[in-house]
Chain A
Amino acid sequence: MLIANVHLARIVRPTLNRHLLLALGAAVVLVAISEQIGAYDDYNLTAVAIFAVAAAGLTLLTGLNGQLSLGHGALMAVGAYTASLLLKDHQLPVVVVLLLAVLTTGIVGIIFGYAAARLRGPYLAGATLSLAVALPQIATRYKNIFGGDAGLSVPASAPPAWLGADFPPERWLAWIALAAALVTMVLLGNVLHSSVGRSFIAVRDNEAAAALAGIDVARTQVLAFVISASCAGLAGALFGYWSGVTAPAGFGLGLSLQLITAIVIGGLGSLAGAVWGSIVLVFVPSLTSGMASSLNVPSSVANNVPLAIYGATLVIAMLVAPHGIQGALKRLLALARARWGHSPASGKKGVMDWDDPAPGP
Chain B
Amino acid sequence: MSRFFILTLDGLTQGAIYAAVALALVLIWRATKVINFAQGAMAMFTTYLALFAIDHGAPYWLGFVVALLSGLLLGAIVERVIVRPVESAPPLNVVILTLGLLLFFEALAPMLFGGQIRSFPPAFSIVGLHVGNSQVAFSAFDAFTLGSVLAVMILLLVLFQRTNLGLRMRASAFNPEVSRLLGIRVGRMLTLGWALASLVGALAGVLIAPTFLLYPNVMDQVLVFGFTGAVLGGLDSAVGAVIGGLLIGFALSYVGGYLGSDLETVGALVILIAVLMVRPRGLFSLQRLREV
Contacts and interface: CB of A to CB of B under 8 A. Distances in A.
Contacts of B291: 207-208
A318 B37 CA distance: 15
Contacts of A138: 266
A260 B99 CA distance: 10
Contact of B96 (A125, A134, A253, A265): A265
Interface in B236-292: 260, 262-266, 268-269, 272-273, 276-277, 280-282, 290-292
Given A130-B269, A208-B292, A300 B114 contact: yes
B107 A315 contact: no
Contacts of A121: 91
B97 A120 contact: no
A311 interface: yes
Contacts of A257: 99
28 contacts: A119-B280, A125-B95, A126-B227, A127-B273, A129-B224, A129-B227, A130-B272, A131-B269, A134-B268, A137-B264, A207-B291, A211-B292, A260-B95, A261-B99, A300-B114, A304-B111, A307-B107, A308-B103, A310-B100, A311-B101, A311-B105, A312-B100, A314-B99, A315-B101, A318-B86, A318-B94, A319-B97, A322-B90
Given A122-B235, A130-B228, A130-B269, A314 B115 contact: no
B93 A318 contact: yes
Contacts of A119: 276, 280
Contacts of B290: 207
B108 interface: yes
B115 A303 contact: yes
Nearest to B264: A137
Nearest to B108: A308
Given A304-B107, A322-B86, A314 B227 contact: no
Contacts of A134: 265-266, 268-269
A127 B231 contact: yes
A121 B91 CA distance: 9
B280 A123 contact: yes
Given A127-B273, A140-B262, A268-B90, A304 B110 contact: yes
A253 B224 contact: yes
B194 interface: no
A314 B100 contact: yes
B207 interface: no
A115 interface: yes
B232 to A, nearest CB: 8
Interface in A61-93: 62, 68
B195 interface: no
B92 interface: yes
Contacts of B268: 130, 133-134
Nearest to A141: B262
A118 interface: yes
Interface of A: 62, 68, 115, 118-123, 125-127, 129-131, 133-134, 137-138, 140-141, 207-208, 211-212, 253, 257, 260-261, 264-265, 268, 300-301, 303-308, 310-315, 317-319, 322
B103 A133 contact: no
A68 B92 contact: yes
Nearest to A121: B91
A240 to B, nearest CB: 22
Q: Is the interface of B mostly helix, strand, loop or mixed?
A: helix
Nearest to B35: A122
B92 A126 contact: no
Contacts of B281: 120, 123
Contacts of B106: 307, 311
Interface of B: 29, 35, 82, 85-86, 89-97, 99-108, 110-111, 114-115, 220-221, 224, 227-228, 230-231, 235, 260, 262-266, 268-269, 272-273, 276-277, 280-282, 290-292
A70 to B, nearest CB: 8
Contact of B277 (A118, A125, A129, A133): A118
B27 to A, nearest CB: 14
Contacts of A120: 280-281
Contacts of B266: 134, 137-138, 141
Given A264-B96, A310-B107, A317-B100, 18 more contacts: A62-B92, A68-B95, A115-B277, A119-B280, A125-B35, A127-B231, A130-B224, A260-B96, A260-B99, A300-B110, A304-B111, A307-B106, A308-B108, A311-B102, A311-B105, A312-B100, A314-B96, A314-B100
Contact of B92 (A123, A133, A264): A264
A311 B104 contact: yes
| 8 closest A-B pairs by CB | A314-B100, A311-B104, A311-B103, A126-B231, A308-B107, A307-B107, A134-B269, A315-B100
B95 A315 contact: no
Contacts of B111: 300-301, 304-305, 308
Contacts of A312: 100, 104
A193 to B, nearest CB: 23
Nearest to A117: B280
